[in-house]
Structure 1
Amino acid sequence: MASKKFPYGGYKGQILRIDLSTMKIINEPLDPQLAEKFLGGNGLAAYYLYKEIPPKIDAYDKRNKIAIMTGPIAGTILPLCSRVGVFGKSPLTDMFFDSYAGGYFAPELKFAGYDGILIEGKAENPVYLWIDDGKVEFCSAERLWGKGIYETQRLIKEELNDEEVQIAVIGPAGENLVRYAGVFFGVRAAGRGGLGAVLGSKNLKAIAVRGSSDITVYDHEGLVELSEKVIQQIMKNPVSGKTYYEFGTTPNVMAGNLAGVLGTRNWQTEVFPEAEKINGVAFKNTLVKRNKACYNCPMMCGKIAEVNDGPYQGAVTEGPEYETLFSLGSLCGVSDLKAIALGDRLCDDYGMDTLSAGAAVAFAMELYERGILSLKDTGGIDLKFANAEAMLEMLKLISERKGLGDILAEGTRRAAQIIGKGSEDYAVHIKGLEPAGHSARAHKGLGMGYAVATRGGSHHDPRPKAERSGEVDRVTTEGKGQYVAIINNMTAATDSFIICHMAENFLGFFDITEVHSRAIKLVTGLNFGVDGIRTLGERVWNLERAFNCREGKRREDDTLPKRFLTEPIPEGPSAGLYITEEQLEKMKDDYYAFRGWDLQTGIPTKEKLKELGLEFTIKDLWD
């Protein structure tokens, strides 16, 4: 049954509050009513941050807050539930942002007695946080400042004399306020949105956690039975049970290229002639040494890769996964798999998102080839597409904020504003966030989903799998408003659990299922039912939207890059496809109408906000 201290299973019933300005540590009880209404993870973070971050402050203002949250099922025997979320106002998008990572940190934080951490203020000098079974202290990080994530973690483990301690850490990119610096858990990255830079602005280098307490669930025997069934589903599914185990996510390279949807040379085309050199088979045969799993996960989709020869010999990395093969590979025109592996290692050690970093380099490569950037601008680097050495050098300069790297560290939106000369036409971003390796032009629902996403160019809001797999017609615009809204609600809900998106392969691409409902009931005792979880997701999504609307975002911000709206894919199986302005606006009308949002502004209506129990947002948006 549930803990005596908290009425629902799975929870520890406690939030750790950290004020870095005053060095104050507060153990705050979690309100059970918040668990009932927002569950955990994304939902709880959206609530706390909406309530506590003042509107329209700069992301580097010390009043910005970072939430690091678990979900109620983290640390239980249920597989695919080890993920941790990092939340805050993004310095890249100036909006609410949520980013997730796997590994072991989330269970360890629960074992240490906390459902989440809320961080505010700014330390006078660099510090790290040490959480040891409810005992919390600040430690000096002066000697760690400037070091990469690998050495930082090694030194912290030596200092604490504990090799098993779990660590969240930022690298030099976060310290240097690179706007797409991430937070790394071991080497698993909550990479998107620049929240590592927010921690850098607060002088917080790392959080080390060790815990030993148990997690009490509502129905242990029922959870054992469900967990066994889920494991069977995972292993029977050809993707989760075989492909991910053998290759991780890397087969998406060839799948995308064969469909003509693999972003190449800054999205000038979506066919990469040398895709076979960086595909899953090449990756496995050339670099992979062993598999690695997150906590309590049978898929083992992580891959430890090592370069054994050539100019990049000695590079060892966990990855690269598909998105990195895309961003540092095809997007930059680079086909040297070993160079990409080194780039992945460098980005990890610098503490930098490979997606946005690769996109920034690809953007600069196009500007260089078009003559907008000169050899003088690049600092003497021959920044042509396919130049692997130039790509690697630019990653270093970005992390150090030197030369052109200082401009690219701002992200493509701000970099284009600084460079000018028409460069804005080639800056591929959505609300400031560079899109992932899934085509907006060839998948109409995904494209519109990017436009309305609360994060911008994150494929984790609209999810591409149904259209990529052919289960949903990727070309039609009909019905895509409702289709995307339902997926948004699903992702907002499952990110409140927090459950890995790999579960979609056997639970379905679109919607909440009975398995989701049963999992929450068995762990917590909360009987949402399928419809209740759908409503939970809708509530969380609308709260994120309210946060962004309070920041001044409106319908006109729900758009796509000029390239996606005006340039058809020029070649390959998807040649001729793109989203017209008319198509986008029609899909947005359908989406807003289904959601119950004002068609003119894109703001959730008062009636919708009341229906979802979000009355506290109305005064900010309508009064």
Structure 2
Amino acid sequence: MPLRGGEPSSGDRAAALLRPLRRQPGLRGGVSDGGFDMLRAAQARSGADAEASRRRAGQAGRVRREGHEGAREEVGRRIVAETYYGFAGNTLRINLSNRKVEAFPTDMPLARQYLGGRGINMRRLYDEVPPGVDPRGESNKYFIGTGMFGGTHCAMGTRINVSGKSPQTGIVGDSNAGAHFASDLKYAGYDQVIIEGKAEEPVYILIDDDRISFHDARALWGKTVSQATLGIRRELGDSSIQVLCTGTAADHGSNIAGTFFNLSRAAARTGTGAILGSKNVKAVAVRGTGSIRVFDPERFHALNRRVKELIRINAQYEARATMGTTQNVRWLNEAGFLTVNHFLNGYQPTAYKWAGEALRDAYNVKSKSCFGCSLHCSRFATVRDGPYKMRGEGPEYEAMACFASRMGADDPEFMLCANRVCNEYGMDEIAVGEIISWLMELNQRGIISSAECDGIDLSWGSHEAALTLMRKMAYREGIGDLLADGVAAAAKRLGRGSEEYAMHVKGLEIINGEPRGMVGYGLTYATADRGGDHLRSEPYFELKGDPEIGREWFGIGATAMRLDHHGKGALVKWSGDWCAVSDALEVCKNTLVCMDFIP
């Protein structure tokens, strides 16, 4: 649907402009089951026109390439001979070394093949960053990719992908987040941004529709995520401008530094923020005033209303809408595969204190959604007084477990505060949680002492240890210098057999899901191309616990049984393919994958 070529009829032109969601009230509502029938009918009708569409697409591609030189001289001059629905139509290349900015038409054959988001970013990474490149060197690149639904009110949300060669692992690096940044980037006219080279001094980049400018960021260097974001908004006089930035850790050379959007939306895995830090880039701000077209607005709206209805009637809706991923704590603990004391146990008797239900009842004050999403699974939490007084968005399950059961703690207020602190420093919480709990286990086993860790008490559950270690990692101070590049690098430097206890795959720390209790997820950790990850393939299907469903979907009942190995290769492959589609479209896996929307 979004990839069809050709101009709409004159009567459809105004309707085809989908303005930002904040300008379109009254988007809620139901629709009959006929929505999917319309899609099937449209697909059947389009078959006869497929060859003509391909010819038109090829002609448009040639026209755009002919306009390439003009776009190089003036960013605002976009030569678009034909509309490609769902895409902004331009790609932006920014060279920091010579401050050359080049806008050129989005490669639509590439977009057809890779859809967008992670798909196009991975292809660009493969084509433009050769083997042997230093991840912290000038030849590495930082790619920002949007999906085709960005800028529409797609009910499955709008996410964004950032990619490059990982400074943490030395292999493919990417991460994504749900943020309004993606939509504003497309409203500014760009599907993808490529940042290359290195600035002489710290800068931030402003993308203001056609105007691209570089701003002095020396005063922001070393600042936290909120200090940088709010500082840029004050300087530009726009409290709603979208900001992608790093925190303190990236500016001090930590390889576990992430990219952060909207103060707390983290694309933190694989050290993407470290790439920006190595290029002397503190932030990218974007303000867009354009719009995105879809081919058939009426059909798009109808199908989207149907998707909203399917989300609302899904059995998972109530728990996800009120608790998000924090709902996982209770059932993971009851099933015995919660991550406790650095994987030494799978059950924590006091987990009820910090479970999603406890946060919902005592600390959450409102919900929040990604752009366009009807699930609103994120939450704002507040601790009103005491030593851990805070307010902010989150946390998600992974951050919760890192600062609770994984390190042997169970205080919800400390956990909420620690999540906020880690985000402010701009670090990957899974990496930080693994490092802290790894040190605590090493201390218990006599492999490392508190004296060797700047006198920090490394007892299980120590709040002070976690907060102090985070600060030291962010600033690379004392023991923090050993830890700031991730658990694999720290174990290699420390030695003493500590490598045996470092929980990572390919240099990337594994999540808070005990693989001995979820065989399919364990296989996912082992095979994911970016390392110990559960989002390259999220084989949630094995948690259904019903062999009949397994036989119906895969012909193997064991695929739906989490402790059975049979059929898990097929399950992980199938789920991995759909997760790749989700990441290329840049929609949320909580809806597209985990709510059984896929065939």
Structure 1 alignment gaps of length 5 or more: 514-623
**C-alpha distance 507-2 of structure 1, shift in aligned 2 (>3 A):** farther
Which residue identity is paired with 1:348? N
Identity of aligned residues (%): 39
Matches within 5 A, 1:525-564: none
Q: Determine whether 1:197 maps to 2:274.
A: yes
Alignment counterpart, residue 23 of structure 1, candidates 91, 94, 99: 99
- Give the CA deviation at 1:294: 1.5
Task: Indicate the larger mover: 444-453 or 188-197.
Answer: 444-453
Task: Look up the SS of the partner of 2:542 in the other structure.
Answer: helix
The one-character-per-residue Cα deviations of 1:30-75 (angstroms, maximum 9, x if unpaired) are: 1211112111111111111100002022210111111010011111
Task: Look up the SS of the partner of 1:143 in the other structure.
Answer: helix
| 1:234–1:506 contact (8 Å) kept in structure 2 | no
Alignment counterpart, residue 489 of structure 1, candidates 569, 574, 577: 577
| 1:153–1:167 contact (8 Å) kept in structure 2 | yes
- Give the CA deviation at 1:127: 0.3
| Correspondence for 1:465 | 540
Give the TM-score of the pair, scaled to structure 2: 0.83
| Correspondence for 1:577 | none
The one-character-per-residue Cα deviations of 1:329-355 (angstroms, maximum 9, x if unpaired) are: 111011111111111111111111111
| Correspondence for 2:150 | 74
The one-character-per-residue Cα deviations of 1:189-232 (angstroms, maximum 9, x if unpaired) are: 00111010110000100011011111011111110000100110
Q: Determine whether 1:51 maps to 2:127.
A: yes
Matches within 5 A, 1:236-315: 236-239=313-316, 241-313=317-389, 315=390
- Give the CA deviation at 1:506: 6.4
Task: Look up the SS of the partner of 1:252 in the other structure.
Answer: helix
CA distance in 2, matches of 1:84, 1:422: 39
CA distance in 2, matches of 1:154, 1:358: 27
CA distance in 2, matches of 1:5, 1:39: 20
- Give the CA deviation at 1:2: 5.5
| 2:582–2:592 contact (8 Å) kept in structure 1 | no
Alignment counterpart, residue 465 of structure 2, candidates 349, 373, 390: 390
| 1:2–1:10 contact (8 Å) kept in structure 2 | no
**C-alpha distance 281-2 of structure 1, shift in aligned 2 (>3 A):** farther
Task: Look up the SS of the partner of 1:441 in the other structure.
Answer: helix
Task: Look up the SS of the partner of 1:352 in the other structure.
Answer: coil
- Give the CA deviation at 1:307: 1.0
| 1:181–1:194 contact (8 Å) kept in structure 2 | yes
Q: Determine whether 1:421 maps to 2:421.
A: no
Structure 2 alignment gaps of length 5 or more: 8-79, 547-559
| Correspondence for 1:498 | 586
- Give the CA deviation at 1:78: 1.3
Q: Determine whether 1:207 maps to 2:295.
A: no
Task: Look up the SS of the partner of 2:149 in the other structure.
Answer: coil
CA distance in 2, matches of 1:481, 1:55: 29
CA distance in 1, matches of 2:592, 2:351: 26
| Correspondence for 1:538 | none
Task: Indicate the larger mover: 265-274 or 211-220.
Answer: 265-274
| Correspondence for 1:530 | none
Which residue identity is paired with 2:512? G
The one-character-per-residue Cα deviations of 1:144-179 (angstroms, maximum 9, x if unpaired) are: 111111111111111111111000000011112222
Alignment counterpart, residue 344 of structure 1, candidates 387, 409, 419: 419
| 1:253–1:262 contact (8 Å) kept in structure 2 | yes
| Correspondence for 1:225 | 302
- Give the CA deviation at 1:440: 1.4
Task: Look up the SS of the partner of 2:98 in the other structure.
Answer: coil
Which residue identity is paired with 1:342? C
| Correspondence for 1:400 | 475
| 1:442–1:474 contact (8 Å) kept in structure 2 | yes
Alignment counterpart, residue 480 of structure 1, candidates 549, 556, 568: 568
The one-character-per-residue Cα deviations of 1:127-156 (angstroms, maximum 9, x if unpaired) are: 000011121111110111111111111111
Alignment counterpart, residue 405 of structure 2, candidates 330, 339, 350: 330
Give the TM-score of the pair, scaled to structure 1: 0.80
| 1:2–1:216 contact (8 Å) kept in structure 2 | no
- Give the CA deviation at 1:98: 2.1
Task: Look up the SS of the partner of 1:377 in the other structure.
Answer: helix
| 1:2–1:9 contact (8 Å) kept in structure 2 | no
| Correspondence for 1:162 | 238
CA distance in 2, matches of 1:393, 1:378: 11
| Correspondence for 1:558 | none
Moved >3 Å (runs of 4+): 1-7, 504-507
Which residue identity is paired with 1:235? R
The one-character-per-residue Cα deviations of 1:92-151 (angstroms, maximum 9, x if unpaired) are: 221112211012000000000000101111100000000111211111101111111111
CA distance in 2, matches of 1:59, 1:189: 20
Alignment counterpart, residue 191 of structure 2, candidates 104, 107, 115: 115
- Give the CA deviation at 1:468: 2.8
| 2:157–2:370 contact (8 Å) kept in structure 1 | no
| 1:339–1:388 contact (8 Å) kept in structure 2 | yes
**C-alpha distance 244-398 of structure 1, shift in aligned 2 (>3 A):** same
CA distance in 1, matches of 2:515, 2:323: 25
CA distance in 2, matches of 1:431, 1:2: 46
Q: Determine whether 1:453 maps to 2:528.
A: yes
| 2:96–2:196 contact (8 Å) kept in structure 1 | yes
Task: Indicate the larger mover: 196-205 or 404-413.
Answer: 404-413
| Correspondence for 1:605 | none
| Correspondence for 2:164 | 88
**C-alpha distance 376-506 of structure 1, shift in aligned 2 (>3 A):** closer
| 1:127–1:204 contact (8 Å) kept in structure 2 | yes
| Correspondence for 1:318 | 393
| 1:122–1:201 contact (8 Å) kept in structure 2 | yes
| Correspondence for 1:63 | 139
| 2:257–2:272 contact (8 Å) kept in structure 1 | yes
Name which one, 1 or 2, has greater alpha-carbon Rg.
2
**C-alpha distance 6-270 of structure 1, shift in aligned 2 (>3 A):** farther
Q: Determine whether 1:9 maps to 2:85.
A: yes
Q: CA RMSD in A?
A: 1.4
Number of aligned residue pairs: 509
CA distance in 2, matches of 1:49, 1:505: 26
Task: Indicate the larger mover: 67-76 or 279-288.
Answer: 279-288
| 1:173–1:400 contact (8 Å) kept in structure 2 | yes
